[in-house]
Structure formats: C-alpha cells, structure tokens
Amino acid sequence: MAEVWSSVGSAGAVNIADLGKVFLNDSVVQLGIGLGGGATAEAASVGARAPLSLQPVLTHAMVRYGVAPSDPLEVEGNPFGLRLRYRDGEGYVVARFLQVDLVTGTDFPLINWDSRKFPLTLERNNFRLNEEFGNVRALNFTTNAYYVELTLSALESPIRPLSFPPAVSIIQLLHALE
C-alpha cells in the first residue's frame, strides 16, 4: 500500500460545539481527559442540570481534517482506504472520507471506517491499527476537495469520567498496490 496522505489526530479542526469535549496531547485527540481529570463538558453539564440522574450520556465530538492534493492532482487505479491508529477505550471511533464537488458544494462519502467493525480487544487502553477500503479508485483535486471527518463517541456518566476515552493518534489515506 502506498500512503497518499496522513495526519496526526491532534492536527484536525474541532467543531466549535465540541471544543470542551476533546483533549489534545502530542499526536492524540481523545474524547475527554480520562484518568487524568474530570468528565467532559457535556457530561458535566448534564450532571449540573440533573444531579439526581445517574444515567449515562452519549457524548460525541467531531474533528475534521483537510486532505491536501498529492502530485499529480489526479490519482487513479487501485482502491483507496483509510487506516487509523486508534483506541476504542470505552467508546468507539468513526471516520469518513468525503469528497466535495467544487461547483455544487455537495458532500459525497467515499469511505466509511467504523471501529465497531473490528474485533474488540480486552486491553482497552491499547492503540491498534485497522484499515477499511472503499470502492473509490480515483481522486480529482481539480474538480473536488476532500476531507476526513472523525467522530469520537462514548457513553459517559455524570459522576465518573471515562477511564479510557476513545482516541486517535494517526489517520492515513492509502492507495492499494497490486
């Protein structure tokens, strides 16, 4: 496989509404602080609004990564795929590789990567690599823009932070070789 593009998890653009939900450390972006601190902003605010409720809250945070063109501006041939170095922790990770038409502005998903598709491991704090290939065989940066949309999700308790939040360290766009 040939790497076409890569980024560290902490280099993405976090949705404004999700700024208080993520923690950036070196190459890693993760949902909340985890063992080192309190609950994420969403879980904490739910706890403040309803202190008698002990129900967990499904928390999401979205981070986007612009994919810059490689040389040449048109790449075609074998299928493209996404590879992530990630940790499910007590949640899951979803990444989508999207194409945006420069004329219409329409987003079109090309690859859907979901950590729930891969076998779970017993060691929640370990990072691992997995890849998912799509049907797309050509990228054209002349007529389209591309980005990766990463979503970190977990059920959080208003009284206890996640011990092992979902996290991503590396994202790569791959081009399969024969």
pTM: 0.85
Between 76 and 36, the more confident residue is 76
The pLDDT tens digits of the residues spanning 1-42 come to 677 889 999 999 999 999 999 999 999 999 987 654 334 444
Distance CA 46, CA 32 (A): 15
| Lowest-confidence pick of 23-27, 98-102, 173-177 | 173-177
Percent of the chain whose predicted confidence (pLDDT) is above 70: 84
Banded pLDDT at 161 (limits 50, 70, 90): confident
Domains identified in the chain and CATH numbers = 2-175 (2.60.120.260)
pLDDT at 118 > cutoff 70: yes
Average pLDDT for 92-113: 97
Instruction: Check residue 33 and give its pLDDT.
Output: 77
Strand partners, 91: 154
Instruction: Check residue 50 and give its pLDDT.
Output: 46
pLDDT at 49 > cutoff 70: no
Instruction: Check residue 48 and give its pLDDT.
Output: 45
How crowded is residue 138: how many other Cβ atoms within 10 Å of its Cβ?
A: 9
Instruction: Tell me which residue of 94, 93, 95, 88 sits closest to 164, measured CA to CA.
Output: 88
Burial class from Cβ neighbours inside 10 Å (0-12, 13-18, 19+) for residue 134 reads: middle
Instruction: Check residue 160 and give its pLDDT.
Output: 78
